[in-house]
Amino acid sequence: MRACDKPYLIRCSDDGGMIVYILGGFLGSGKTTFLKTVTRHYLDSGKKVAILVNEMGDIGVDGSTLRSEGFKAVELPDGCICCTLTQSLFEAVAGIKEEIDPDVFIVEPTGLALPQKVRDTIVSTGTDVKDISIIGIVDVPRFDIFLERKKEFFLEQISESDIILVNKADGQPAEKVEGILSFLKDLYDLPALVVSGKTLEGVDRFLEALR
């Protein structure tokens, strides 16, 4: 692995294989919103994208419903392939590589998962991965509540992010956003971008950072 030429995502290799993104973040922080944004970004540049989500029938990617039962890939109208985590992650990843062989593979675990565990499981499959990154998403309006009620888990959940999206910044006081940025910087010194998945503020900078 070498330092990446993109400013934010650090685990890169020159080998072939798929680029993997894991969207980490507590319940309702905006993971699915970014899943769709990142998927669209890669589809627009002609890449084959597979996504893996925890919930079933609930993702609403372009209004499509998932018809899958067990581990079955579902082709959505926009050409992206969607799978669900009903089999073990380990088997699902191997199956996706073999059956779909995507350029980009995006995983949204439940908001109660540690994304680093998902990453380690994917790495442990031995699947040919070019680059695997955790995109940690924090929710500005609910930051204080999460910190108050779920501190240990919440902080662990973002601790191994390769980039943190400080999300839902729309309509939030600048001081609050600044306070969160400096709190995160003191704790982790990870790259962080202020964004809104809703108004798309800051999202271009994020997309430019992707491989």
Nearest to ligand GTP of 50, 137 (CB atom)? 137
Q: Toward ligand GTP, which CB reaches closer, 127 or 196?
A: 196
Write down the least CB distance from residue 28 to Mg ion, Å. 8
Q: By C-beta, is 32 or 84 nearer to Mg ion?
A: 32
Least distance to ligand GTP, CB of residue 141, Å: 7
Q: How far is the CB of 134 from Mg ion (least distance, A)?
A: 16
Residue 157 binds Mg ion, judged by CB under 5 A: no
Residues in binding contact with Mg ion, number by CB under 5 A: 2
84 vs 167 by CB, closer to ligand GTP: 167
Residues in the chain: 211
Considering the complex, what minimum distance in angstroms separates the CB of residue 95 from ligand GTP?
23
Please give the residue ranges that form the binding site for ligand GTP (CB under 6 A). Answer: 25, 27-33, 111, 167-168, 170, 196-198
- Tell me, letter by letter, the H, E, C secondary structure of the chain: CECCCCCCCCCECCCCCEEEEEEECCCCCCHHHHHHHHHHHHHHCCCCEEEEECCCCCCCHHHCCCCCCCCCCEECCCCCEEEECCCCHHHHHHHHHHHCCCCEEEEECCCCCCHHHHHHHHHHCCCCEEEEEEEEEEECCCHHHHHHHHHHHHHHHHCCCCEEEEECCCCCCHHHHHHHHHHHHHHHCCCEEECCCCCCCCHHHHHHHCC
197 binds, among ligand GTP, Mg ion, none (CB under 5 to 8 A by kind): ligand GTP
25-54: contacts with Mg ion (CB under 5 A): 31-32
Residues that bind Mg ion (CB under 5 A): 31-32
